[in-house]
Amino acid sequence: MSLYRNSKEKLALIKEKPFSLERELQSVTEKNLNEIFGLEFVASEFQHNNLRIDTLAYDTYKKSFVVIEYKREKSFSVVDQGFAYLSLILNNQAEFVLEFNKKFQEKKGKADFDWSQMRVLFLTRSFTVHQLEAINFRDLPIELWEVTRYEGDVLQYLQIKSSGTKASIETLGISNSEVNKVSKEVKNYSEDDYLSSKPDGNGKKLYSQLKEKISIIDSEVVAHPTKSYISFQLPNNWRNIFYCHISSNKVRIDFTRTKPEDFKDPEKKVYYNENSIKYYKQDISSVEISSEKELEYGIYLIQQAYDKFVKEN
Protein backbone atom coordinates (compact mmCIF):
# COMPACT_ATOMS: atom_id res chain seq x y z
CA MET A 1 0.00 0.00 0.00
CA SER A 2 1.43 3.36 -1.02
CA LEU A 3 1.17 6.42 1.23
CA TYR A 4 1.20 9.98 -0.07
CA ARG A 5 1.63 13.40 1.52
CA ASN A 6 -0.93 15.94 0.29
CA SER A 7 0.44 19.45 -0.08
CA LYS A 8 -1.98 21.84 -1.76
CA GLU A 9 -3.45 18.93 -3.74
CA LYS A 10 0.00 17.88 -4.92
CA LEU A 11 0.73 14.30 -3.84
CA ALA A 12 4.24 13.20 -2.90
CA LEU A 13 5.05 9.56 -2.26
CA ILE A 14 6.10 8.81 1.32
CA LYS A 15 9.05 6.43 0.98
CA GLU A 16 9.56 3.40 3.16
CA LYS A 17 12.45 3.48 5.63
CA PRO A 18 12.97 -0.14 6.76
CA PHE A 19 14.37 -1.04 10.16
CA SER A 20 17.98 -2.11 9.79
CA LEU A 21 17.92 -4.13 13.02
CA GLU A 22 15.27 -6.15 14.86
CA ARG A 23 16.29 -4.30 17.99
CA GLU A 24 15.08 -0.99 16.57
CA LEU A 25 11.59 -2.36 16.05
CA GLN A 26 11.67 -4.06 19.44
CA SER A 27 12.70 -0.90 21.26
CA VAL A 28 9.99 1.35 19.82
CA THR A 29 7.34 -1.34 20.25
CA GLU A 30 8.20 -2.06 23.89
CA LYS A 31 8.05 1.65 24.75
CA ASN A 32 4.58 1.93 23.21
CA LEU A 33 2.97 -1.45 23.97
CA ASN A 34 -0.13 0.06 25.52
CA GLU A 35 -0.72 2.49 22.67
CA ILE A 36 -0.22 -0.14 19.95
CA PHE A 37 -1.72 -3.28 21.47
CA GLY A 38 -3.25 -2.27 24.79
CA LEU A 39 -0.70 -4.42 26.64
CA GLU A 40 1.51 -3.93 29.70
CA PHE A 41 5.27 -4.44 29.40
CA VAL A 42 6.67 -7.19 31.67
CA ALA A 43 10.18 -8.04 30.47
CA SER A 44 12.60 -7.82 27.56
CA GLU A 45 14.80 -10.72 26.40
CA PHE A 46 13.29 -13.05 28.99
CA GLN A 47 15.17 -16.36 28.87
CA HIS A 48 14.29 -19.73 30.38
CA ASN A 49 15.10 -23.33 29.41
CA ASN A 50 17.19 -22.29 26.38
CA LEU A 51 14.34 -20.26 24.90
CA ARG A 52 14.46 -16.48 24.74
CA ILE A 53 11.32 -14.35 24.51
CA ASP A 54 11.94 -10.99 22.84
CA THR A 55 9.12 -9.20 24.68
CA LEU A 56 6.96 -10.60 27.46
CA ALA A 57 3.75 -8.60 27.84
CA TYR A 58 0.52 -8.86 29.83
CA ASP A 59 -3.10 -8.43 28.75
CA THR A 60 -4.95 -6.80 31.66
CA TYR A 61 -8.40 -7.55 30.24
CA LYS A 62 -7.76 -11.24 29.65
CA LYS A 63 -5.40 -11.68 32.63
CA SER A 64 -2.97 -13.54 30.40
CA PHE A 65 0.60 -13.35 29.11
CA VAL A 66 1.44 -12.33 25.56
CA VAL A 67 4.70 -13.17 23.76
CA ILE A 68 5.97 -10.78 21.08
CA GLU A 69 8.68 -11.87 18.66
CA TYR A 70 10.42 -9.67 16.07
CA LYS A 71 11.75 -11.14 12.82
CA ARG A 72 13.82 -9.84 9.92
CA GLU A 73 14.36 -13.13 8.11
CA LYS A 74 11.44 -15.04 6.61
CA SER A 75 12.62 -18.62 7.11
CA PHE A 76 10.83 -19.47 10.34
CA SER A 77 7.77 -21.51 11.22
CA VAL A 78 5.13 -19.42 12.98
CA VAL A 79 3.36 -22.55 14.23
CA ASP A 80 6.44 -24.37 15.58
CA GLN A 81 7.91 -21.30 17.27
CA GLY A 82 4.56 -20.05 18.49
CA PHE A 83 3.73 -23.35 20.18
CA ALA A 84 7.23 -23.56 21.64
CA TYR A 85 6.75 -20.25 23.46
CA LEU A 86 3.28 -21.19 24.71
CA SER A 87 4.55 -24.56 25.89
CA LEU A 88 7.40 -22.83 27.72
CA ILE A 89 4.95 -20.69 29.68
CA LEU A 90 2.53 -23.52 30.45
CA ASN A 91 5.31 -25.72 31.78
CA ASN A 92 6.93 -22.95 33.84
CA GLN A 93 4.00 -20.94 35.16
CA ALA A 94 5.65 -20.18 38.52
CA GLU A 95 8.64 -18.51 36.85
CA PHE A 96 6.42 -16.25 34.76
CA VAL A 97 4.25 -15.32 37.74
CA LEU A 98 7.44 -14.44 39.62
CA GLU A 99 8.58 -12.19 36.77
CA PHE A 100 5.18 -10.50 36.71
CA ASN A 101 5.16 -9.92 40.47
CA LYS A 102 8.69 -8.54 40.34
CA LYS A 103 7.75 -6.07 37.61
CA PHE A 104 4.47 -4.83 39.13
CA GLN A 105 5.25 -5.37 42.83
CA GLU A 106 2.28 -7.75 43.13
CA LYS A 107 1.67 -10.94 45.09
CA LYS A 108 -0.35 -12.90 42.55
CA GLY A 109 -0.47 -16.68 42.34
CA LYS A 110 -0.91 -18.98 39.35
CA ALA A 111 -4.68 -19.05 39.89
CA ASP A 112 -4.86 -15.28 39.28
CA PHE A 113 -3.92 -15.72 35.62
CA ASP A 114 -5.91 -17.09 32.70
CA TRP A 115 -3.50 -19.46 30.99
CA SER A 116 -6.06 -20.42 28.33
CA GLN A 117 -6.02 -17.00 26.63
CA MET A 118 -2.28 -16.60 26.06
CA ARG A 119 -1.12 -15.70 22.56
CA VAL A 120 1.97 -15.09 20.47
CA LEU A 121 2.48 -12.09 18.18
CA PHE A 122 5.05 -12.18 15.36
CA LEU A 123 6.11 -8.77 14.03
CA THR A 124 8.00 -8.36 10.76
CA ARG A 125 8.06 -6.38 7.51
CA SER A 126 6.15 -9.04 5.57
CA PHE A 127 5.23 -12.72 5.70
CA THR A 128 5.49 -15.48 3.13
CA VAL A 129 2.45 -17.16 1.61
CA HIS A 130 3.31 -20.30 3.57
CA GLN A 131 3.35 -18.40 6.86
CA LEU A 132 0.04 -16.73 6.07
CA GLU A 133 -1.58 -20.06 5.30
CA ALA A 134 -0.14 -21.56 8.49
CA ILE A 135 -2.43 -19.41 10.70
CA ASN A 136 -5.54 -20.32 8.75
CA PHE A 137 -7.21 -22.01 11.72
CA ARG A 138 -9.97 -20.59 13.89
CA ASP A 139 -8.42 -21.64 17.20
CA LEU A 140 -4.73 -20.82 16.67
CA PRO A 141 -3.48 -18.38 19.38
CA ILE A 142 -0.95 -16.81 17.01
CA GLU A 143 -1.15 -13.38 15.37
CA LEU A 144 0.89 -12.02 12.47
CA TRP A 145 1.60 -8.29 12.34
CA GLU A 146 3.32 -6.50 9.47
CA VAL A 147 5.17 -3.38 10.56
CA THR A 148 6.29 -0.74 8.07
CA ARG A 149 8.33 2.35 8.84
CA TYR A 150 8.20 5.32 6.51
CA GLU A 151 10.26 8.48 6.29
CA GLY A 152 9.31 11.05 8.87
CA ASP A 153 9.17 8.27 11.52
CA VAL A 154 5.69 7.18 10.46
CA LEU A 155 4.95 3.59 11.54
CA GLN A 156 2.14 1.29 10.52
CA TYR A 157 1.20 -1.85 12.49
CA LEU A 158 -1.20 -4.00 10.50
CA GLN A 159 -2.56 -7.33 11.69
CA ILE A 160 -2.81 -9.95 8.97
CA LYS A 161 -6.08 -11.78 9.48
CA SER A 162 -6.75 -15.39 8.53
CA SER A 163 -9.21 -16.05 5.74
CA GLY A 164 -11.96 -16.90 8.22
CA THR A 165 -11.73 -20.65 7.95
CA LYS A 166 -13.57 -22.72 10.55
CA ALA A 167 -11.06 -25.56 10.51
CA SER A 168 -9.47 -26.41 13.85
CA ILE A 169 -5.75 -26.79 14.51
CA GLU A 170 -6.61 -30.33 15.61
CA THR A 171 -7.21 -31.26 11.96
CA LEU A 172 -3.44 -31.06 11.40
CA GLY A 173 -3.08 -34.28 13.36
CA ILE A 174 0.13 -33.12 15.02
CA SER A 175 1.67 -35.94 17.06
CA ASN A 176 3.99 -33.75 19.16
CA SER A 177 2.87 -34.11 22.79
CA GLU A 178 3.78 -30.53 23.74
CA VAL A 179 1.85 -29.11 20.78
CA ASN A 180 -1.15 -31.24 21.65
CA LYS A 181 -1.00 -30.03 25.25
CA VAL A 182 -0.90 -26.40 24.20
CA SER A 183 -3.75 -26.80 21.70
CA LYS A 184 -5.93 -28.29 24.45
CA GLU A 185 -5.12 -25.71 27.11
CA VAL A 186 -4.73 -22.50 25.09
CA LYS A 187 -7.74 -21.39 23.09
CA ASN A 188 -8.56 -18.63 20.65
CA TYR A 189 -12.22 -18.12 21.56
CA SER A 190 -14.92 -17.67 18.94
CA GLU A 191 -18.32 -16.08 19.37
CA ASP A 192 -19.89 -19.55 19.27
CA ASP A 193 -17.53 -20.70 22.05
CA TYR A 194 -18.66 -17.88 24.30
CA LEU A 195 -22.37 -18.22 23.51
CA SER A 196 -22.36 -22.00 23.94
CA SER A 197 -21.06 -21.52 27.48
CA LYS A 198 -24.11 -19.44 28.39
CA PRO A 199 -27.59 -20.78 29.27
CA ASP A 200 -30.32 -20.55 26.68
CA GLY A 201 -32.78 -17.82 27.45
CA ASN A 202 -33.67 -14.18 27.05
CA GLY A 203 -30.04 -13.05 27.33
CA LYS A 204 -28.96 -14.75 24.10
CA LYS A 205 -32.04 -13.46 22.29
CA LEU A 206 -31.37 -9.89 23.40
CA TYR A 207 -27.72 -10.17 22.38
CA SER A 208 -28.70 -11.31 18.87
CA GLN A 209 -31.04 -8.34 18.51
CA LEU A 210 -28.44 -6.01 19.96
CA LYS A 211 -25.78 -7.15 17.52
CA GLU A 212 -28.12 -6.56 14.56
CA LYS A 213 -28.83 -3.00 15.69
CA ILE A 214 -25.13 -2.31 16.25
CA SER A 215 -24.47 -3.10 12.59
CA ILE A 216 -26.85 -0.28 11.67
CA ILE A 217 -24.79 2.20 13.70
CA ASP A 218 -21.65 1.12 11.83
CA SER A 219 -21.30 -2.05 9.75
CA GLU A 220 -17.52 -1.92 10.35
CA VAL A 221 -17.90 -2.55 14.09
CA VAL A 222 -17.04 -6.20 14.72
CA ALA A 223 -17.48 -8.61 17.62
CA HIS A 224 -14.27 -9.65 19.34
CA PRO A 225 -15.01 -12.65 21.59
CA THR A 226 -12.99 -13.74 24.60
CA LYS A 227 -13.51 -16.35 27.29
CA SER A 228 -15.35 -13.91 29.58
CA TYR A 229 -17.11 -11.42 27.30
CA ILE A 230 -17.69 -10.25 23.73
CA SER A 231 -16.25 -6.83 22.98
CA PHE A 232 -16.95 -4.64 19.96
CA GLN A 233 -14.15 -2.90 18.10
CA LEU A 234 -13.36 -1.08 14.89
CA PRO A 235 -10.92 -2.74 12.42
CA ASN A 236 -7.21 -2.35 13.24
CA ASN A 237 -7.98 -0.83 16.63
CA TRP A 238 -7.50 -2.97 19.75
CA ARG A 239 -9.54 -0.61 21.93
CA ASN A 240 -12.94 -1.88 23.02
CA ILE A 241 -15.80 0.53 22.42
CA PHE A 242 -17.92 -1.56 24.78
CA TYR A 243 -18.33 -5.20 25.69
CA CYS A 244 -21.20 -7.53 26.54
CA HIS A 245 -21.71 -10.05 29.33
CA ILE A 246 -24.60 -12.44 28.66
CA SER A 247 -26.55 -14.23 31.37
CA SER A 248 -29.76 -16.28 31.25
CA ASN A 249 -32.12 -13.32 31.27
CA LYS A 250 -30.13 -10.18 30.48
CA VAL A 251 -27.15 -8.54 28.81
CA ARG A 252 -24.80 -6.23 30.69
CA ILE A 253 -22.99 -3.67 28.55
CA ASP A 254 -19.75 -2.22 29.88
CA PHE A 255 -18.61 1.06 28.34
CA THR A 256 -14.83 1.56 28.42
CA ARG A 257 -13.14 4.84 29.40
CA THR A 258 -16.43 6.43 30.48
CA LYS A 259 -18.26 7.69 33.54
CA PRO A 260 -22.06 7.98 33.91
CA GLU A 261 -21.84 11.75 33.47
CA ASP A 262 -20.46 11.20 29.95
CA PHE A 263 -23.91 10.06 28.81
CA LYS A 264 -27.22 11.74 28.19
CA ASP A 265 -29.12 9.33 30.40
CA PRO A 266 -32.58 10.69 31.31
CA GLU A 267 -33.64 7.35 32.82
CA LYS A 268 -30.50 7.19 35.00
CA LYS A 269 -29.75 3.59 34.06
CA VAL A 270 -25.97 3.92 33.66
CA TYR A 271 -23.94 3.09 36.76
CA TYR A 272 -20.23 3.24 37.55
CA ASN A 273 -18.03 0.17 38.10
CA GLU A 274 -16.30 1.08 41.36
CA ASN A 275 -13.48 -1.44 40.82
CA SER A 276 -12.71 -0.48 37.23
CA ILE A 277 -9.61 1.60 37.97
CA LYS A 278 -8.22 -1.03 40.33
CA TYR A 279 -8.62 -3.98 37.95
CA TYR A 280 -8.64 -2.42 34.47
CA LYS A 281 -6.85 0.92 34.99
CA GLN A 282 -9.67 2.84 33.36
CA ASP A 283 -13.18 4.11 34.09
CA ILE A 284 -15.95 1.71 33.14
CA SER A 285 -19.68 2.38 33.28
CA SER A 286 -22.41 -0.18 32.71
CA VAL A 287 -26.06 -0.65 31.82
CA GLU A 288 -28.18 -3.80 32.04
CA ILE A 289 -30.74 -4.83 29.42
CA SER A 290 -33.43 -7.36 30.23
CA SER A 291 -36.23 -6.55 27.75
CA GLU A 292 -36.75 -5.35 24.18
CA LYS A 293 -37.89 -1.98 25.54
CA GLU A 294 -34.63 -1.60 27.44
CA LEU A 295 -32.78 -2.75 24.31
CA GLU A 296 -33.79 0.42 22.46
CA TYR A 297 -32.51 2.53 25.33
CA GLY A 298 -29.29 0.52 25.30
CA ILE A 299 -28.77 1.32 21.62
CA TYR A 300 -29.33 4.98 22.44
CA LEU A 301 -26.45 4.77 24.91
CA ILE A 302 -24.26 2.70 22.56
CA GLN A 303 -24.64 5.36 19.86
CA GLN A 304 -23.29 7.93 22.32
CA ALA A 305 -20.38 5.67 23.30
CA TYR A 306 -19.60 5.05 19.62
CA ASP A 307 -19.63 8.77 18.78
CA LYS A 308 -17.34 9.49 21.74
CA PHE A 309 -14.96 6.71 20.73
CA VAL A 310 -14.71 7.86 17.09
CA LYS A 311 -14.09 11.44 18.19
CA GLU A 312 -11.31 10.45 20.59
CA ASN A 313 -9.67 7.78 18.44
Residue pLDDT, tens place only, 250-302: 999 999 999 999 999 999 999 999 999 888 889 999 999 999 999 999 999 99
pLDDT value at position 75?
A: 75
Does 109 have pLDDT greater than 80? yes
> Which residues contact residue 54 at a Cβ distance below 8 angstroms, ignoring those fewer than 6 apart?
22, 26, 44, 45, 67, 68, 69, 70
pLDDT value at position 26?
A: 96
Contact assessment for residue 120 and residue 104, using Cβ atoms and an 8 Å cutoff? no
Q: What is the mean pLDDT of residues 159-176?
A: 66
Does 139 have pLDDT greater than 80? no
pLDDT value at position 49?
A: 86
> Which residues contact residue 280 at a Cβ distance below 8 angstroms, ignoring those fewer than 6 apart?
60, 61
- Do 11-185 and 191-312 agree at the fold level? no
Architecture of domain 191-312: Alpha-Beta Complex (3.90)
Does 145 have pLDDT greater than 70? yes
> Which residues contact residue 15 at a Cβ distance below 8 angstroms, ignoring those fewer than 6 apart?
150, 151
Average confidence score pLDDT of the chain: 91
The domains of the chain are located at 11-185, 191-312
Give the confidence band of 229 by pLDDT, cuts at 50, 70, 90: very high
Of all residues in the chain, what percent carry a pLDDT higher than 90? 69
Q: What is the pTM of this model?
A: 0.87
CATH dotted code for 11-185? 3.40.1350.10
Residue pLDDT, tens place only, 194-221: 999 999 999 999 999 999 999 999 999 9
Residue pLDDT, tens place only, 38-54: 999 999 999 988 899 99
Q: What is the mean pLDDT of residues 29-39?
A: 96
Identify each DSSP E strand in 73-191 by its residue range: 119-124, 142-150, 154-160
Residue pLDDT, tens place only, 77-96: 888 899 999 999 999 999 99
Distance CA 57, CA 62 (A): 12
pLDDT value at position 176?
A: 62
pLDDT value at position 170?
A: 62
pLDDT value at position 171?
A: 58
